[in-house]
Chain A
């Protein structure tokens, strides 16, 4: 890892790479040219062989996802998930604002492999700057004949549209995203049918994350064997890791999926260690939805297999937030619960009611009026809302319950201690304002 050379982020900090010319000068658009030399089926096979797993959070193998498309399809859509709404995650943003053509090239390869003729890039509305950068890149690509009809002299047409969302976490769920593009309320759809059979406008659809697509040009250009040489067999290829919190170098870094959470915090090429005087209390290693790690669990590998051993939902977006020992854990709990209460779409009962209940309890605990029974209720409610396997239409409640349940379970004694130290007058005053 010492001589790890960035692949996905190689153009970060190179302003001219944002232009088509600059990108091509640095070796861009070679992947798509090579891809067009083989058949779409061969591309799918190559991606399957490389075991490229989706970078959006669930880690579903991209090639397998593509192979679910029906053979006799006429129209196929590609949706690029650039909604990146998981709280501490900003790797897609970095890719789109620094290397927009890499994302486009990835989308082209995915579109060619899936025989999609239209691609929608679904971008969250908060990405103002990134939208303009990416739109400029799309315009440039159209002007250069890299998008449109008969690309690179092959029988391959592709239209790309950037669709801006209206700011909802649930629109990052693939069927919520599809509904949103269709102009509807972003309520996830019931499955089956899965999008591969019936997705956007009731046509076969593939939804891929920006980072997944950014891997494709390199994967195709250098081959599956090169790709699998990076990282362990179940977690191949380069990966972007974000780190935030009281570390010396918060940011987005690239590496193989062999590193541990401790590496991400401590190593000079990543977080560079904690700020002076700060000590790790807790880490949310994969975006907030996967759950929390204690300071004793930092040896967890940032790959697709290891998090389950620590009771976490998965790798998630591989964006770690470090919480230090000076932070009041009750505020962390409240902040987490608040996010899901605000972002639950309101469709399924468990999620709609459970998230707001958990927030009310967490807010009351943070206000100094917690009861020991509240911790039991939090844990039970989390389980009643469904934690892998879920009970709802989409995975949002799973993501909502993991951080709450793991935090309450792993830090229970500390929470109980804080509840025991509550100021009685204040507690009674708050309790009176409720019921």
Chain B
């Protein structure tokens, strides 16, 4: 482990990183735009210049270098000494910030980036209060570079992070730099708009308000948003994300640093795939059928009602005729509670993993990458927790079936009752499934949207979207990733975890942590959670 001295302070840092990264890791606030640990080094913003001790060519005594060196381009070497707290370094930061703002429109009041803008932050910390330029600014154009993205070129600081992202991570190279000098522009190649499945990341990468997400544009001021750490439920990769929401409304998703899983990125399917959360057609209240009529019971009565109907069914038909279909959209905790309820009342009951939705093939990025060169993966499996449900089913033992086996046996009339959990964002109940369900005497459905199962259901329980759930998902690589609840479910609904907790006979508020502690006693794997390290405070 190399030990370097930054501003007189010895710092032990990782091997093979830049001095800039070492300084950021150690909590230092070194301004930078073009540097990003996930991208190649271009050292073009010249903000992170530092002084380094080098041997004086005449005396061979170590002395501060006459030339300022870019910290992002200088690798750490054991024993090296650098400094950022010097007048020359500060002078360069001051003059750089002046240069950055010369042609910047200063339209912060109408800029989406305002509040999370590194031009604002660095101007405040390192810049000067007023501009000395009285001449007209260069006005580079605003343009539409892709179906999801706008480019306000006048705000650009030419860090070229977006260009490098499309070259190095997505591998699609849609963006390039055109023109020279202060007329330099980022642009998409003619006829090839920025439309790759990872393009949303360029908006996050942009340190200023040049690249903008059309869906988010002018919707929210970012300082009103609360960011809750979560896990994307879009596919089995399990990207760590931030859910940005304000007063119960979700506004955007952003990737959260998670080395080895999604690094700094996420795909557009996940990024834009949350709209169903606020769909007005969601099931928002429980329903109970008596005869041909469905009524809405009081939530307080639901746990007992459910327990009673299951006990009644077991008494009349035996526990072996009962099955539970668990959805790969459930958290492990919810699934564990449901298994506990069912196996408690009917130890011979059957557990089934619900349909696993897939779309196309698993895609690796950069396009064409294999093995070690893969930097990002979009899984074909479009659900977050198949592995978690399988883990729980294996731990539960007893009668466990695949969905196909279940359908076959149910077709033969072997089941008389079922608890079917949905929660799929897309319609998932086909005619065959609906027909099967129609023959059950007791059907409990837990789902998010209306479908053909509901008319025949004895009890309907509203399910939650992932942003309203709390617990953990097990991703394609088997990492158990916990996440927090960001939103409340729609008015009238309760969280799946809460009512399952109560049905299972517990009292009080459901908490993923508490349930996980109980699970870990039975299934040791759940004691080993994967939680990514935080990004250094001053990194972006």
Contact = CB atoms under 8 A, between A and B. Distances in A.
A191 to B, nearest CB: 9
Interface string B149-184: 000000001100000000000000000110111111
Contacts, number: 101
A349 B44 contact: yes
Given A354-B99, A391-B68, A435-B134, A349 B45 contact: yes
B184 A352 contact: yes
Interface residues of B, number: 38
A391 B46 contact: yes
A67 interface: no
A342 B135 CA distance: 17
A348 B95 CA distance: 13
A346 B180 contact: yes
Contacts of A344: 180-182
A346 B135 contact: no
Interface in A243-280: none
B133 interface: yes
B67 A434 contact: no
A242 B143 CA distance: 46
Given A434-B136, A435-B136, A347 B158 contact: yes
Interface string B54-79: 00000000000011101001000000
Interface in A145-190: 168, 170, 185, 187, 190
A428 interface: no
Interface in B97-139: 98-100, 102-103, 132-136, 138
Interface string A397-435: 000000000000000000000000000000000010111
Closest 9 CB pairs between A and B?
A346-B184, A384-B95, A389-B67, A353-B99, A356-B182, A360-B135, A344-B181, A347-B44, A190-B43
B46 A392 contact: yes
Interface residues of A, number: 36
Nearest to B70: A190
| Interface of B: prevailing SS | loop
A343 B100 CA distance: 19
Contacts of B70: 190
A341 B45 contact: no
B188 interface: no
B68 to A, nearest CB: 6
A361 B132 CA distance: 11
A393 interface: yes
A187 B98 CA distance: 23
Contact of B181 (A356, A377, A392, A393): A356
A190 B42 contact: yes
A355 interface: yes
14 contacts: A347-B42, A349-B45, A350-B46, A352-B182, A353-B99, A353-B102, A355-B181, A356-B103, A384-B91, A384-B99, A389-B67, A434-B134, A434-B136, A435-B135
Contacts of B46: 348-350, 391-392
A160 B148 CA distance: 47
Given A352-B184, A360-B136, A435-B134, 10 more contacts: A185-B176, A185-B177, A190-B73, A341-B182, A346-B182, A349-B157, A353-B102, A354-B99, A364-B135, A435-B135
